[in-house]
């Protein structure tokens, strides 16, 4: 069965902490964890009439900085539990305080602590530092812990690839995201920790989503969640050719490197022999690359394009097991959609009315696709 299937009675519980103080009278909250090199976001609502006297709407309206932490979990005793029995879903700062007088509700929306890096601008180049070292420096600058897997290439090499961007003012988060992109790493903030780590791989232990067709014992379909849907982009389902053209000042000559993906295991795309109409072609001009760097860039962009081909969306009772660092494996549909997916977004919602639910969107290329250098 899938990891999300829970046959026991679900009695989830949640807590909301604002500036270190637990506010018990919340109505509902939502956390969107994403894999887009962007901040995770949150939304939490309170009924004005039952806010604590010391933290009423007047207090909220006068604050200039608010920090929110949202918790959820399944404590052993739902009527008497401790904070350590729940998981922290997000820790972040509030961007907007909204007051709706007609519905008598107060809403806080904001981003996780990625926002500290997004809002900090820099023109620093760090030429002699490796990407992992830069991640540690920027984490310390914002009082964040760091979980970083070392990298080997000095960042100065990447300035040759992305000269225009690296020499203009940009946010510290854009700098880190750019380095993570070329290093094929994930970068994200969880709680008060910055992670700069390898991306999940298709061979990693998956989070299962299982579909069961009707059989002799069940006259109806079953799923480990609530809803499950798929789509396939038929443009990207074609063979893909990515060409990167560059000019290397040191060698004083231009060149191009090509990476290809084919969906036919019995044939190999063959350069000029491949008709344009039979493949989806992409061309990029990037100055300052070596031939090796151009090939690596073509392969990286090919991989990114291929991963948009298959898309999956599922809604289900929420758990705290799945996150953006895990791969999802769908089983049982007996279609081309039975494969491994990489999460794009996981939206968790908790409310008295609907309980604890989550919606997941993910993507990957079809399992028969092959990447060819």
**Do 105 and 26 share a domain, yes or no?**
yes
The pTM score is: 0.81
Q: What is the pLDDT along the chain (373 residues), one digit of tens a residue?
A: 333 344 346 899 999 999 999 999 899 999 999 987 889 999 999 999 999 999 999 999 999 999 999 999 999 999 999 999 999 999 999 999 999 999 999 999 999 999 999 999 988 878 788 999 999 999 999 999 999 999 887 766 655 544 444 456 789 998 898 888 888 899 999 999 999 999 898 899 999 999 999 887 777 888 988 999 999 887 767 788 888 888 766 666 788 888 888 765 544 444 444 444 567 788 888 877 888 888 888 888 888 777 778 999 999 999 999 999 999 999 999 999 999 999 999 999 999 889 999 999 999 866 665 556 5
Q: Is the residue at 351 inside a domain?
A: no
Q: Is the residue at 373 inside a domain?
A: no
Q: Is the residue at 34 inside a domain?
A: yes
- Answer whether 207's CB lies under 8 Å from 224's CB: no
**Do 89 and 180 share a domain, yes or no?**
no
Structural domain tally of the chain? 3
**Do 92 and 125 share a domain, yes or no?**
no
Q: Is the residue at 73 inside a domain?
A: yes
**Do 171 and 157 share a domain, yes or no?**
yes
Identify the three-state secondary structure at position 64: coil
Q: Is the residue at 218 inside a domain?
A: no
Q: Is the residue at 158 inside a domain?
A: yes
Nearest-angstrom CA–CA distance, 222 and 314: 13
For residue 239, list its beta bridge partners: 279
Burial bucket for residue 9 (CB in 10 Å: 0-12, 13-18, 19+): exposed
For residue 24, list its beta bridge partners: none
C-alpha closest to that of 199 among 213, 184, 181: 184
44: domain CATH number is 2.30.300.10
Q: Which domain holds residue 41?
A: 13-112
Q: Is the residue at 259 inside a domain?
A: yes
**Do 247 and 290 share a domain, yes or no?**
yes
């Amino acid at each position: 069965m899938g990891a999300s299937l829970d046959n026991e009675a679900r009695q989830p519980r949640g807590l909301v902490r604002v500036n270190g103080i637990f506010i018990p009278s919340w109505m509902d909250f939502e956390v969107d964890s994403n894999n887009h090199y962007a901040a995770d976001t949150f939304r939490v609502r309170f009924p004005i009439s039952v806010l604590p006297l010391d933290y009423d709407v007047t207090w909220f309206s006068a604050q200039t900085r608010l920090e929110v932490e949202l918790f959820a979990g399944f404590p052993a005793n739902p009527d008497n539990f401790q904070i350590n029995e729940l998981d922290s879903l997000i820790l972040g700062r509030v961007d907007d305080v909204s007051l709706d007088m007609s519905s008598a509700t107060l809403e806080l929306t904001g981003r996780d602590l990625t926002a500290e890096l997004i809002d900090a601008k820099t023109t620093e180049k760090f030429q002699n530092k490796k990407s992992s070292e830069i991640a540690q420096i920027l984490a310390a600058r914002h009082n964040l812990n760091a979980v970083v897997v070392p990298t080997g290439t000095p960042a100065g090499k990447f300035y040759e690839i992305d000269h225009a961007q690296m020499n203009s003012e940009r946010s510290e988060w854009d700098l880190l995201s750019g380095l993570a992109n070329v290093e094929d790493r994930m970068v994200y903030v969880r709680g008060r920790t910055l992670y700069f780590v390898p991306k999940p791989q298709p061979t990693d232990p998956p989070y299962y989503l299982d579909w069961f067709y009707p059989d002799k014992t069940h006259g109806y379909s079953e799923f480990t969640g609530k809803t499950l849907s798929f789509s396939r982009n038929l443009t990207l389902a074609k063979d893909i050719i990515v060409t990167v053209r560059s000019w290397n000042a040191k060698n004083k000559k231009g060149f191009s490197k090509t990476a290809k993906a084919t969906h036919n295991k019995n044939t190999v795309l063959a350069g000029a022999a491949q008709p344009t109409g039979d493949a989806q072609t992409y061309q990029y001009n990037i100055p300052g690359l070596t031939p090796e760097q151009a090939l690596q860039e073509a392969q990286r962009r090919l991989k990114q394009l291929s991963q948009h081909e298959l898309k999956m969306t599922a809604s289900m009772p929420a758990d705290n097991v799945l996150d953006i660092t895990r791969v999802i494996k769908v089983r049982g549909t007996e279609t081309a959609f039975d494969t491994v997916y990489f999460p794009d977004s996981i939206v968790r919602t908790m409310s008295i009315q609907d309980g604890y639910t989550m919606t997941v969107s993910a993507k990957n290329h079809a399992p028969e696709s092959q990447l060819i250098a």
